[in-house]
Structure 1
Amino acid sequence: MEGKVILVTGANKGIGFEIVRQLAKLGHEVLLATRDEQKGREALIELQKENITAHIIRLDIIDEGSIKAAVSQVQQQFGKLDVLINNAAILLKEDQSLLKNNWLTIDQSLQTDAMAQLMVTRHFQSLFTKGSRIIMTSSGGGSMSDPVGGWSPAYCIAKSLLNAITRHLAYEYTQQQISVNAFCPGWVKTDMGGKSAPRSVQQGADTAVWLATAEKIPTGQFFRDRKEIPW
């Protein structure tokens, strides 16, 4: 998959930035999508220090107008999108209990961490071609198999919803030979994961890079460290 056009949301820092870094280093046309253009420019400066080139796309995943403008920009500049990595997400400190959370906390989590990914995918589908790939940054917190409880329940159920969306999109895109998969980066040292997290951003980004670039991948599956895990 040399020279593919790949867009990564939430890409100015953390796992998203590392995904961009690794993919651009491999020679792909990588679009660093961020809602804050200044932070995007700062991220590009960091990449330039390593002689790595990427492109900024302004994209607020919960703003439909912003999504449409981003689609138009990608259409004009590249004419297609080979890989969409839906990485942007939020983890709210107020998210403590489904019974006690302010409703806005629950609604914001569901909208930003699941429904926005569906909306972004629907708008960008006009740029997909045969063999395009859609990758969702999910979480083990969204698993229906692992134990639950103890942290950020609204975030976790949003990731469960994202996993369900992944499976249904994989089914609907089968005839177009477009793959749709989710991956869990694990607990990673980022602004979201915190300093006590055991995994590096390089480890967190690896599976997404593999799903974007491997010669052949399945569809409708959930991965961690390049291995399929239960939903």
Structure 2
Amino acid sequence: MAIIFITGSTDGLGRAAAQSLVDQGHRVVLHARAADRAADIGEFASRCAGIVVGDLRSAADARSIADQVNAIGRMDTIIHNAGVYTRPDRGATPEGHAETLAINTLAPYMLTALIERPDRLVYLSSGLHRGGEGSLDDLDWTQRDWDSAKAYAESKLHVVALAFGLARRWPKVLSNAVDPGWVRTKMGGSGAPVDLHTGQQTQAWLAVSEEPAALVSGRYWHHLRREEPAREATDPDFQDALIERLGRLTGVPLPQT
């Protein structure tokens, strides 16, 4: 059985994926933004392999999360599930970054670079990533007027490009991106058309399945089917430029091999 770390797994899609994987007999390490959220997990925590705590808007907390995971041991799979949708303004993290960028892009990048390399990586994106092209000119929203929808789309483009860039750079790791659809969560709202089971199914399958269809890398998935992502996400030059800028913004280089 595999051991899997899932960010943002106290509720919503992350919790649903964790529940599915635990029910299959796998070991799951949970992540909570704060101690009170960890305490709210209740009995389910006793069925898991551990829980780490930290706020992904903070670079210091992201480093702490990586340290906590590494102390538990090497993961077989990491699912980068945590994210935010809209923010009323740019905001500012302790390091001065836009909050959407920090949580949705910088944090998964840092965790990828700092946690011992797993066999599989899964990044949660969105179909809205197709509206995010052109972000490298002002990655951190220091020059443009704030646009929450555009910032979200850009961040979700970033994680697809990161997943694909890692598939090129780390050929022994299966690295994929998933669009779970518009799911009935606190983020998606009660009117969303996709139920939690369907929304979590693809990432849970990619995390552990030994089916030949799941043993691929550098692919974009939606409801267990491959789809074509935005053109920019598939461009190696964009992937490399993005990774280089994320390294400069965070001060964390991505291991090359």
For 2:166, give the aligned amino acid: L
Distance 2:219 2:37 in 1: 33
Instruction: Please say if 1:140 is aligned against 2:127.
Output: yes
Q: Deviations over 1:109-139 (max 9, x none)?
A: 1221112211111011xx225xx10100100
Identity of aligned residues (%): 26
CA deviations 1:161-185 (Å, max 9, x no partner) are: 22111111111111xx111100011
**Alignment partner, residue 187 of structure 2:** 192
Tell me, in whole angstroms, the C-alpha distance in 2 between the residues paired with 1:137 and 1:44. 25
Partner residue of 2:105? 114
Other-structure match for 1:148: none
Q: Offset of 1:44 from its aligned partner? A: 3.7
Q: Secondary structure at the match of 1:152?
A: helix
CA contact (8 A) 2:84 2:100 kept: yes
* Structure 2 residue 26 is matched with structure 1 residue 31: no
**Which of 163, 174, 179 is the equivalent residue of 2:174?**
179
Match of 1:87 among 81, 89, 110: 81
Look up the match of 1:65.
60
The residue identity in structure 2 corresponding to 1:128 is: R
CA deviation map 1:25-81 (0-9, x unaligned): 111110111112221232243x37xx844521113223333233333333333x211
Matched, 1:166 2:167: no
Equivalenced residue count is 208
**Equivalents in 2 of 1:168, 1:201: separation in Å?**
29
Structure 1 counterpart of 2:17, one-letter code:
I
Kept in 1, the 8 Å contact 2:202–2:223? The answer is yes
Residues 7 and 32, structure 2, Cα contact 8 Å, conserved in 1: yes
1:144 Cα deviation from its structure 2 partner: 6.1
State the superposition RMSD in angstroms. 2.3
* CA distance in structure 2 between the aligned counterparts of 1:87 and 1:60, rounded to whole angstroms: 14
* C-alpha distance 118-172 of structure 1, shift in aligned 2 (>3 A): same
2:9 counterpart SS class? coil
Residue among 6, 20, 42 paired with 2:4: 6
SS of structure 1 residue aligned to 2:40: helix
Pairing partner for 2:216 from 212, 215, 218: 218
SS in 2 for 1:136: strand
Q: Is the 8 A contact 1:44 1:54 kept in 2?
A: no
TM-score by length of 1: 0.82
User: Gaps (5+ residues) in structure 1?
Assistant: 95-101, 146-150
Q: Distance in 2 between matches of 1:68 and 1:157?
A: 23
Detail structure 1 runs of 4+ shifted over 4 Å in the superposition. Answer: none
> Matches of 2:5 and 2:163 in 1, distance apart?
17
Give the letter for the 1:141 counterpart: L
